[in-house]
Amino acid sequence: MPPFDPTQFLSAAQNSAGGLLGSTRKVILTNLANVTVGNTVTETSLESPSFIGTDVIPANYFQAGDIMRIFATGTLGTDVTTPLTTLKLYYGATALHTVAVTPGAQITAGTPWSYEATMRVTKNGSTGSITASQFMWFNSTAVVALATTPVATTVDLTAAGAVQLKLTWGTANALNTATCWTYFLEVIG
């Protein structure tokens, strides 16, 4: 049996362009330091002020079909009132997707979590569109996974925009903490 060749499913033009739609993968930002958000109800970026790269996507950069991905990991802990935690994805000042997370029980400090957001450009221009979804898991008394339905949002892609993930606690409490260790933004397109 011949070895599997994934390029057999691509057209000659796609093969010569380097793959499906001539895609490339680039990590354009990665944190150099941890970020902790705790004891506050102020929306706060999980992106460290100390990073390599940029979160700003240049104006007119995207083509329909391009993908962005944010991946983050860390630890969290909550008080006994199981606070609502809100995660929002942004392109510039436009919120692409919002998800509310309620753990269901107190989470002991130092509990690991992992997060991934996928954003696909579906239309270019000043009335461009990005479809985004989010997935998060954490281990409280049992592993909890939260996946969201993709949502399309109109975004002006003729303007530069920073892509960020921000967290807001529902209540300020010293036990409500989320520390982000790993955070990167990747562009595939």
User: What are the sequence ranges of the domains in the chain?
Assistant: 23-188
What digits encode the pLDDT tens for the residues 93-138? 999 998 887 766 778 888 898 999 999 999 999 999 999 999 888 8
Picking from 179, 160, 186, the residue whose alpha carbon sits closest to that of residue 61 is 160
* Interacting residues of 155 by C-beta distance below 8 A, sequence separation 6+: 91, 92, 94, 96, 128, 129, 130, 161
What digits encode the pLDDT tens for the residues 136-182? 888 766 566 777 889 999 999 999 999 999 999 988 989 999 999 99
Angle at 94 between CA 90 and CA 97, to 5 degrees: 55
Query: What pLDDT does residue 15 have?
Result: 41
Higher pLDDT, 90 or 147: 90
Calpha distance 144→115 (Å, rounded) = 12
- How large a percentage of the chain has pLDDT more than 90? 54
Instruction: Give the predicted TM-score (pTM) of the model.
Output: 0.82
What CATH number was assigned to the domain covering residues 23-188?
A: 2.60.120
Q: Mean pLDDT throughout 79-94?
A: 85
